[in-house]
Structure 1
Amino acid sequence: MSGMKEVLKDAVLLVLPSLSPDVTNQLVEKLMDQGVEGLDDLVYVKEDDILEFIRPIQCRKLLSSWKNQGQSLSNQRWMLSLEGQVVCEGAQPNFITGLAALFASFYNFNLQYQEEAACTLEFVQRRFVDINPERGSKAKKGKVTSKKTGQVVQKKNATVSPPVSSLLRKLADFEWNFV
Structure 2
Amino acid sequence: MRWHCHPSVKTTESLLQRLHEIGVECKDDLTLIKIEDLEGILRPIQGRKLLQAFIAGPSAAVESPCRAGLCRSHEMETSGTCVGDEFQIPWHKMPPALIQALTDQKRPTPLLRKKMKTETASSIVKGDLPSTLCIVALGETVLTAGHFMVAVDQIIVNDHLHSPLTALSFFFATYYVLNIQYPHTATLALEFIQRCLVGINPERGSKKEQKRGKKSYNTHPRILRLLSDLRDFETPWKL
Instruction: Report the TM-score when normalising by structure 1.
Output: 0.45
Instruction: Report the TM-score when normalising by structure 2.
Output: 0.36
Q: Which structure has the highest helix share of the two?
A: 2
